[in-house]
Amino acid sequence: MTYLVTGGTGLIGSRIVRDLIREGEQVVVYDFLPARSAMERLMSEEEIGSRVKIVQGEITDAPHLFRTIKENNVEKVIHTASLLVLDSNSNPLMAVRVNCEGTINVFEAARTLGLKKVVYASSNACFGPQEMYPEEYIPNDAPHYPQNVYAGTKAFNEVVAAYYIDHYGVDITGIRYMHVYGAGVRRGFFATILQELMVNPALGKPGRVPHGDAIIGWSYVDDPARATVMASKVLKTKTKSYSIMGDVHSVKEAVDYVRTLLPDADIAVSPGGFTGDPVKFDTRLIEEEIGYRPQWSMERGIKETINLTRKEHGLPSI
CB 174 within 8 A of CB 158: yes
User: From the centroid of its chain, how far is CA 71?
Assistant: 27
Least Cα distance to 118 among 157, 148, 71 occurs for 157
Q: Which pLDDT tens digit goes with each residue over 256-313?
A: 999 999 999 999 999 988 766 899 999 999 999 999 999 999 999 999 999 999 999 9
Opening angle at CA 146, ends 172 and 130, nearest 5: 105
pLDDT above 70 covers a percentage of the chain that reads 99
Which residues in 25-158 belong to E strands, given as ranges?
26-31, 52-56, 76-79, 117-123
Residue 216 β-bridge partners = 249
CA distance 94 to 247: 32
CB 270 within 8 A of CB 210: yes
Is 86 a residue whose pLDDT tops 70? yes
Q: What is the pLDDT of residue 275?
A: 67
- Which range (32-46, 140-154, 183-197, 275-289) has the least confidence? 183-197
Q: Which pLDDT tens digit goes with each residue over 128-177?
A: 888 899 999 999 999 999 999 999 999 999 999 999 999 999 999 999 99
pTM for the structure as a whole: 0.96
Q: What is the mean pLDDT of the chain?
A: 96
Least Cα distance to 202 among 91, 313, 301, 299 occurs for 313
> What interhelical angle do 102-113 and 62-71 show, nearest 10?
40
CA distance 1 to 232: 12
Opening angle at CA 79, ends 75 and 80, nearest 5: 150
